[in-house]
A and B are shown apart, each in its own frame.
Chain A
Amino acid sequence: MNFAAFLQHLINALSLGGIYALIAIGYTMVYGILRLINFAHGDVFTYGIYLAFYGVVLFLMPWWIAFIFSIFATAFLGALIERIAYKPLRNAPRISALITAIGVSFFLQNFATVVFGGRAKSFNPQTGIYPTSFLAMIEIGAVKIPVLTLLTLSIAIVSMILLMWIVYKTKVGMAMRAISKDIPATRLMGVNADRIITFTFILGSGLAAIGGILWAMKYPQVYPYTGMIPGLKAFIAAVVGGIGSIQGAMVGGFILGVSEIMIVAFVPSLAGYRDAFAYAILLFVLLVKPTGILGVEVSEKV
């Protein structure tokens, strides 16, 4: 493999990693605050794609309005799930919340099968979902990169910078960080904890929708189980990076994306195992450093 090909793979890998990172942030923020694995997050991602798809195909919106609409609608869906399914269980045993999250995930998948149909919908520019010009190639010397790949990477990075700004520079962000440390104490400071938690879900689901649309442009179809594998991998990314840490989710996402693409690029015979590879990384990291790369050690108390 020459250097140009390597660069092409690398850019492609980074754009995939960016998508994983966007989804992983949603997992890690919710886990950081509620200690809950939001199993439904991968399906929220699927609904982001469906909403964008139907925005264009059914409601005949211009593609960019449909995409923005989808981001906001998905964010609302995330908040709705939190209010209906997770909020009543805030003081319940954590296992109940986890099982509920699995139930919500199962519901979203099956609801999508009933309402949208089980057959995959094509998400490619030939059906007018986004401009065909995205598929054009940029040539820099011998390196050929599709516009879409660069666009994916830059949108992912811009979204992440925006998120970091919200979390570290705004008052809401400060409240979010406070809640992840200690909910009752934050309440005593006069912060409406429930609203901040809902806001966290809104942010996470919005990012999932962005990730979803980018994913669908990369792998141009959508079906009810689309979100399952990327959702699981993003969760693995969050754990690998250190769950609860936003920077960790980003690092984990890029690690997973890059290693997945590189494995397939260098050892094509292992392509069938690309999904299992993520689990291998997960097990390795969990055994070496169970709290993940950037995670904080929590000692077990009696």
Chain B
Amino acid sequence: MGKMLSNGVKFLLTTLLIIAIGFLLFVANKTASEYVILILNLMAINIIFAVSLTLINGITGIFSLGHAGFIAIGAYVSTLLTLPVAQKEMTFLIKPLIYPLNQIQLPFLPATIIAGLIAAGFGYVVAAPSLRLIGDYLAIATLGLGETIRIIANNAWSITNGALGLKAIPPYTNIYWSWGWAFATVFVIASLVKSSYGRALKAIREDSIAAKAMGINVFSHQVMSFVLGSFFAGVGGALWAHLITTIDPKSFAFTKTFEILIMVVLGGLGSISGAIIGASIYTVGLEFLRVLESPFKFGFINFPGIPGMRMVVLSVLLIILMLFWQRGIMGRNELSWDLLYGFVTKRLKKRGGKND
């Protein structure tokens, strides 16, 4: 299947798609219930998480399990910047907040960007030692780093308010912020993957030694991918904090990374469009699974609601997915206009064949 559509047509189609989604979101924002809007926001944020993890895990082949740590950094940094000064005084009861932070209050956009940058900076610092490791060791080291960030957040009372967490965060996140950032994330990461850098990253994933032999600087490429992934994880964390409005160290436990991993695996490890699909299905599916936790009637039998049941179902689903359907929805393929075009023309030809 070669190129079937010219670049101009594809650009037009993409623009139209984005406008269409934008319009739908605009309508949803005006008419849908608060609950639906919340889910839409969560979906966008999960897309940011999943796509950024895909860049690190799926495209570059660094099996990082520390994503929750970067999300935590993003959430805490942005919150400390946007919380009103009076609110900070009320929140930090046990130990007051340290100096520059207790005096400043920034608007949402700069706070988000700074959150992303600090997460990226941290990713840079962390990447240097961890990327010397390979495979499972790297997975464990990043898991450890993620957990360490959480433990620090739990103990650094004068910065994070410790185990009590931060409350009454201004609910700045709305459809436009979350989906705007989601589009930006997908655009930046997809462009990177399509560029020569992206091909280098994939070469590293397949065989880092062969990639090195081809003249690719493996280490600097891995660091770049890790830092970019951390940036968007931080941004996602900022959006998430301003959506749920309370954060504490427990929200960033390993479970968070695990959830994102499920999205990525469901969509297909190594596919950006897969990550988007996986994140969307996961977000909506989790809401549908809520049924399991509320009492319901099945025929004559009354099932009492069992709290925690949907997590059981979710983990069983992941195991089944890995046992029988490892490649996920997209595998390593990307959803593209060419693919869609090929699919449609094939269908049309089939129908044409019947008419003959």
**A95 pairs with B319, CB closer than 8 A:** no
Q: Is the CB of A107 within 8 A of B152?
A: no
Which of the candidate stretches A51-59, A187-195, A283-291 sits at the interface with the other chain?
A: A283-291
- The answer to the question of B83 belonging to the interface, with a C-beta cut-off of 8 Å to chain A, is no
- Give every chain A residue within 8 A of B315 (Cβ-Cβ): 103-104, 106-107, 110
CA distance A110 to B313 in the complex (A): 9
Interchain residue pairs with CB less than 8 A apart (21):
A37-B136, A95-B63, A95-B269, A96-B322, A96-B326, A98-B63, A99-B261, A106-B258, A106-B314, A107-B316, A110-B314, A113-B311, A114-B306, A118-B308, A239-B137, A275-B151, A276-B148, A286-B137, A290-B137, A302-B207, A302-B213
Q: Which 3 A-B pairs have the closest CB atoms?
A: A107-B315, A279-B144, A103-B318
Is residue A272 contacting chain B, with contact meaning CB distance below 8 A? yes
B311 touching A106, Cβ below 8 Å: yes
B203 within 8 A of A: no
Interface residue ranges of B312-329 to A (CB < 8 Å)? 312, 314-316, 318-319, 322-323, 326
Distance in Å: Cβ of A75 to nearest Cβ of chain B: 21
Chain B residues with CB under 8 Å of A290's CB are 132-133, 137
In the assembled complex, the CB of B166 is this many whole angstroms from the nearest CB of chain A, namely 18
Query: In the complex, which residues of chain B have a beta carbon less than 8 angstroms from the beta carbon of A141?
Result: none
Interfacial chain B residues near A239, Cβ < 8 Å: 137, 140
Interface residues on A, range: 35 or more
Bound-state CA distance A108–B169 (Å) is 34
- Bound Cα distance A290, B130 (Å): 11
Q: Is the CB of B152 within 8 A of A89?
A: no
Establish whether residues B308 and A103, one from each chain, have CB atoms under 8 Å apart when the complex forms: no
Query: A282 interface residue, CB < 8 Å from B?
Result: yes
| Residue from the list B135, B144, B318 in contact with A106, Cβ < 8 A | B318
State the CA gap A111–B314 with chains docked (Å). Answer: 11
In the complex, are the beta carbons of A283 and B137 less than 8 A apart?
A: no
Q: Chain B: residues with CB nearer than 8 A to chain A?
A: 63, 129, 132-137, 139-141, 143-145, 147-148, 151-152, 154-155, 207, 209-210, 213, 254-255, 258, 261, 265, 269, 306-309, 311-312, 314-316, 318-319, 322-323, 326
Distance to closest chain A CB from B68 (angstroms): 13
Using CB atoms, name the residue of chain A closest to B293.
A114
- Decide yes or no whether A120 CB sits under 8 A from chain B: no
CB of A85 closer than 8 Å to a CB of B:
yes
Cβ–Cβ < 8 Å partners of B145 in chain A: 279, 283
Contacts of A106 in B (CB 8 A): 255, 258, 311, 314-315, 318
Q: Please state if A85 and B132 are interface contacts (CB–CB under 8 Å).
A: no
Contacts of B311 in A (CB 8 A): 106, 110, 113
Binding site for B on A (CB under 8 A): 31, 35, 37, 85, 88-89, 92-96, 98-100, 102-104, 106-107, 110-111, 113-114, 118, 228, 232, 235-236, 239, 272-273, 275-276, 278-280, 282-283, 286-287, 290, 300, 302
A93 to B315, CA, bound (A): 20
A84 to chain B, nearest CB (A): 8
Nearest CB of chain A from residue B165's CB, rounded to whole Å: 15
- A88–B133 Cα gap in the complex (Å)? 28
Q: What's the minimum C-beta distance from B274 to chain A, rounded to whole angstroms?
A: 15
Residues on A with C-beta less than 8 A from B309 are 114
Q: Tell me the bound Cα distance from A212 to B140 in angstroms.
A: 22
Which of A110, A287, A300 sits near B312, CB closer than 8 Å?
A: A110
Check A286 against B141 for contact (C-beta < 8 Å).
yes
Contact A279 B147 (CB under 8 A): yes
A287 x B322 contact (CB < 8 A) = no
Complex CA–CA separation, A278 to B315 (angstroms): 28
Complex Cα distance, B63 from A107, in Å, reads: 21
CA A73 – CA B291 in complex, angstroms?
Answer: 33
B323 touches A99 (CB 8 A): no
Contact A103 B319 (CB under 8 A): yes
Minimal beta-carbon separation of A64 from chain B (angstroms): 33
Given contacts A107-B316, A113-B311, A114-B308, are A98 and B136 in contact (CB under 8 A)? yes
Residues of A within 8 A of B269 (CB): 95
Kindly state the separation between the CA atoms of A161 and B323 in the bound complex, as whole angstroms: 37
- Residue of A239, A279, A280 with most partner-chain B CB within 10 A: A279
Residue of A nearest to B308 (CB): A113
Among B135, B144, B309, max chain A CB count under 10 A is at B144
Residue of B nearest to A93 (CB): B326
Min distance, Cβ B39 to any Cβ of chain A, angstroms: 22
Distance A236 CA – B129 CA, assembled complex (angstroms): 17
| CB of A134, distance to nearest CB on chain B (Å) | 31
Q: Is there contact, CB below 8 Å, between A107 and B319?
A: yes
Interface centre among A88, A99, A282 (most CB of B within 10 A): A99
Bound: A99/B254 CA distance, A: 13
Pairwise interchain contact A282-B323, C-beta atoms closer than 8 A: no
Partner of A100, one of B144, B155, B319: B319
Q: B319, A98: Cβ atoms under 8 Å?
A: no
A287 to B126, CA, bound (A): 12
Query: Are B322 and A99 in contact, CB atoms less than 8 angstroms apart?
Result: yes
- Selected contact of A302 from candidates B135, B209, B312, CB within 8 Å: B209
Distance in Å from the Cβ of B33 to the closest Cβ of chain A? 29
CA distance A113 to B141 in the complex (A): 28
The residue on B at minimum CB distance from A104 is B319
Apart from A110-B308, A286-B133, what 7 extra A-B contacts exist at CB < 8 Å? Answer: A96-B322, A99-B322, A106-B255, A107-B319, A286-B137, A302-B209, A302-B210
Q: Is the CB of A273 within 8 A of B155?
A: yes
Chain A residues contacting B133 (CB-CB under 8 Å) are 286, 290
B325–chain A nearest beta-carbon distance, Å: 10
A286 to chain B: which residues have CB within 8 Å? 133, 137, 141
Which among B151, B254, B314, B323 is the interface contact of A89 at CB below 8 angstroms?
Answer: B323
Q: Is the CB of A114 within 8 A of B312?
A: yes
Q: Which of B139, B307, B312 is the one whose CB lies under 8 Å from A107? A: B312
**B114: min CB distance to chain A, Å:** 25
Say whether B132 contacts A287, CB under 8 Å: yes
